Each structure stands twice: as structure tokens, then as C-alpha cells.
Amino acid sequence: MEIFISENLKRLRAERGLRQEDLANHIGISVQSVSKWERGETLPDTALLPYIAEFYSVTVDELLGVGEMRRAAEIKKFKAEFDSLGEKKEYVAQMKLAKGIYADYPNDITVMRCMMDTLRQNGCFEESLKFTERLLSAGADSNARYEAIRSGAFCARYAPCRTEEQARRNAELAERYALMLPNYYETINQVLVGINPSTALAAANIESLMHCLYGNILVLQSDDVREKIALWKKAAGLVEYVCEGCFGSMSDILLRLYLFIAHDSAIIGDDAAALEYLQRGARIAAMCDEHPRGTYTSPLLGGGEYVCSGKARAALRCQMERWAGFARIKACPEFRAIMDSLGEYEETNEDLMRGEMFAYKIVNLAALECRAYSGAADICGIGPASAADCVPCLKNLFTGLPNCHAAEFDEEFISELNTKENELFALREEGKITAVGVVNKASDVWEIALLSGLSSSEDPDWSRMERMLAYCTKYITDSGHTARLRISVLNTIIIFAEDMGYERAE
């Protein structure tokens, strides 16, 4: 209360261009008393509050800061619920919650940070960028500023581009943001542990650095599957060494690595390795679900606390069921036994939108797709198409899928497809278009967007999507360009990305 009333008295006087003497003369007290109120050393007598409020033309509640206290309480409650939804990876619900409070407090720094985060998490990169700019111009503290810069760099890099000029501007913007950040050695974490050595801080730094290391290892992708597997094994070995059996929040990293190793081992025919790493993944998932909160036991992590999603088994089962690379070994008794150990899992729209524990990273598909899938896929029946030809298929995509993310068909969507940067290809079956591939040629890296006109029950093995991807990849690589699969916010495409074994970046 003291903080609010002292600040309000100073603010109200400054806004009106008045002196402390003006208030003192109005209510018949000394200037020294007013000065002490504004410094927060004393409080006005309650009998004087109505006269002070009248002088400044505000209510007593406004003078006391009751509105500020109410706002602070509401935002504190919102932030706790927002963080809780984030821990459970319920990103769609998170965005709905943030939009609700943003309508009431559009200029609050905490609310703007949450809006920026949730829009990015849900793939709304252009909208998220607007909040990045607002935070950078709002005088936010250093943590909020750095968070905004990191978020802005990512969103600028992955925001949809419809022209080469737009792609160039976005790339420059992403780099401009990135260059605002310090290097590894100049971070708050590293400087603090240097000037005030702390076991807890050092352990937290090691955990953060493990996540950074994992991200960098993913960038070292090789076109050779065996080399990729070797890299992932090295990364997994580092996590195992640091954690010493209690993996905590790094269970997510380790589970992804085991899954990648298993998937690509299955592709090259090493079934024993695929099953071994799936079994390891099942053990990690069980540990994560049975101990979603706790403290690390490794000396390197110093007993720091961790929080897991608690839904690792469901996530792993979902990936094992859907990823195409496991199709050949699904009938193996060992594979079925691992599936059974993970328990039942009923897929929901919310689960699919948050991708469970697994992020979807946009990766270069050119060499991998041509080798692993194109040869096996029948790509007959696919050819160029016009945007108008695809309208019935697209209407079905937006309105006919039971697990489709909330979206409505909009004629403007067709006009966006019908640009010179886009090439449209359609799979026609019995006079009906059942899949559409969009190749965007806005830069040297040509992006593929895959749209299905059928529900998952009509095309359970995603064979049509696989054929379309094979065709578009071949078309791009034959043209001398690099191909990249662009992940849509529509669940149809997200599910297919999982099937093919690729991840989407956060």
C-alpha cells in the first residue's frame, strides 16, 4: 500500500504539473508532510484521503492503488496458470488464456512476453514478431529483452515468405536480432558463477549447456544415415554421462535421441539396434512419468530441481505408431511388447498440436527423402494443378477432419497459393484430388507444403502424402535446388511430419 500511494502521489502531481506546495495549501498541511508521503516515509491520515483524491480528480481507490493491486494479483494468477499449461505442453490452451488477459492489460510487460511466447509456440511467427518489437521499445528488463531478441530471431527466420524479397528481409532481420545478444562467455549465468561461485548456479549452467550442446549436435546432420546415428549416439552418451541415471528434464533430449537412433537404424535394416533403443526409450519414458518432479542425483547437476511433462510414454507410443520408418518392424514381437509396456494412448487434438514431448524441427529433406522414401513411393498420377482445381480438396481439409486445428476455409487462402513463387501439384484419383503439394520458390531453398484432402481414417498410412513428398522432392532436386518440408499448423501435416520422422523447430 505504501509503495502504491507514494508512487501515485508523485505521478499525479507530475502529470498535472503541480508542486508539493499546491497540495499542502489545498488541504492545510505542511510541505514537509507531503514530501514524506511521496518518499513513502509516512502515510496520509485516512481523513485526508478524500480531499487529496478530490484535489487530483481521482477516486480514493485510484489514489491508494487498489486498481494496481488488483491488476498485479490478476496477472500473478494468470502467469501461474500460463506456466502450468506450458509445463504440460498445452500450447493451444496457453494461447487462449493469454489472449483473454491481453484484452484487459495490453501494455503489461508480463502479458506481452506471454503473448510473444505463445504465438511463437503455435506457429504464428509474424504476430509474435510484433510483440518482440513492442518489448524492445517498452524498456523491458534485461531478461525480457534477451528473451524478446531470441524469440524475434527465430520468428524472423521461420516466418512464411511469399517473395524472394521478403525472404531476404526476414533473413537480415533474424541476423540483426541475433547480433544483439552476447556470446556464451558474456551471459548473466557465466558472469555470476565467475564472481560468486555457487554449486547450484554451476549445476543449472551445466543443465542449460547440455540443451545448447544438443541443439548444436542436431545442426551437425550428415546426409549419411550411419554418420547421423553415430552423432546421435555421441550426444546420448554425453547426456547419460552428465546425468548418471537421473535424467530429469533432460529425459526429453535423451528420449528424442533414442527415438532418432531407433528410427534410422530401422531404415538401414539394423532391427536389433532399433529395438534396443526403443526399449531404452521406454525405460526413460517410464522414469519420466513416474517421477515428473524431483532433484538430480548427479554431482555435476548438484541436486538441482527438475520438472518433466509426465506424459512421455504416451508421446513415445504415438511416435512408434506413426513414424513411417518403423512400419517394417511393427509386427515383431519385441516391438509389440515395447508398445504394450507403454500402455494405451488415445490421441486428441490437443496432444497432436503440442506434439507431446517431441518438437518438430524443419530439416533438409533433399538427400534423405530421395534415398529413404522416393524409390519406394509410387509417384504416378501426380501433376501440375491450378489453385481453382484444388478448392474442393482444400475445403475438405479445413472442414472435414476430426482432428484438424480450429480453422475455416477462406477464399483468400487460394489467392495466397496462386502466386508466381508457388508451384501446385495434385494427386488425382477417380476424378478427385486427394492430396496437394505446394512448392514455394522464394529462395534457393525451395519449401514443400503438403495438404491432404482425406482424413486419417481414409488414408491411415499416409501413402498419398508420402507419394506427394517424393514427387515434390524429386521435382526440386532435379531443378538443382535444396528441398525443405514446411510444417503447417494444420494437424494433418503435423501428423505426417511425425510419420516421416522429422521434427519441427520451436
- pLDDT, tens only, 158-205: 776 656 677 788 889 999 998 998 887 888 788 888 888 888 888 888
Q: Is 464 helix (H, G, I), strand (E, B) or coil?
A: helix
Compute the distance between CA of residue 371 and CA of residue 349 in angstroms, rounded to an integer.
Answer: 32
Report how far apart, in Å, the C-alpha atoms of 219 and of each of 255, 372, 488, 503 are. Answer: 18, 20, 22, 13
DSSP assignments along 63-81, one per residue: HHTHHHHHHHHHHHHHHHH
| Domain range annotation of the chain | 2-64, 68-181, 194-354, 366-500
The pLDDT of residue 493 is 41
Secondary structure of 123-156 as H, E, C letters: CCHHHHHHHHHHHHHCCCCHHHHHHHHHHHHHHH
- CB-CB contact of 462 with 496 (8 Å): yes
Q: Is 373 helix (H, G, I), strand (E, B) or coil?
A: helix
> What's the fold here for domain 366-500?
Aminopeptidase (3.40.630)
Compute the distance between CA of residue 257 and CA of residue 316 in angstroms, rounded to an integer.
Answer: 12
Compute the distance between CA of residue 154 and CA of residue 166 in angstroms, rounded to an integer.
Answer: 15
Strands (DSSP E) found in 405-485:
422-429, 432-440, 445-452, 482-485
- CB-CB contact of 9 with 38 (8 Å): yes
Cell of 38: 511521496
- Chain centroid to CA 498: how far? 16
- CB-CB contact of 64 with 52 (8 Å): no
pTM summary value: 0.53
Domain 2-64 has what CATH class?
A: mainly alpha
The pLDDT of residue 457 is 57
Question: For 291-326, where are the alpha helices, taking DSSP H only?
Answer: 312-322
Compute the distance between CA of residue 134 and CA of residue 373 in angstroms, rounded to an integer.
Answer: 45
Kind of pairing, strands 432-440 and 422-429? Answer: antiparallel
Q: What are phi and psi of 423, to 5 degrees?
A: -115, 130
Residue 312 amino acid letter:
A
Cell of 498: 511425425
- CB-CB contact of 172 with 159 (8 Å): no
The single residue listed with the C-alpha cell 524469440 is: 151
Q: Does domain 68-181 have CATH number 1.25.40.10?
A: yes
Compute the distance between CA of residue 118 and CA of residue 123 in angstroms, rounded to an integer.
Answer: 9
Same fold, 2-64 and 366-500: no
- Chain centroid to CA 427: how far? 32
Compute the distance between CA of residue 437 and CA of residue 408 in angstroms, rounded to an integer.
Answer: 20
Per-residue DSSP letter, 444: S
- Chain centroid to CA 453: how far? 27
Cell of 66: 487498489
CB neighbours of residue 380 within 10 Å: 9
Q: Which residues of the chain have pLDDT under 50?
A: 1-2, 347-376, 398-408, 487-506
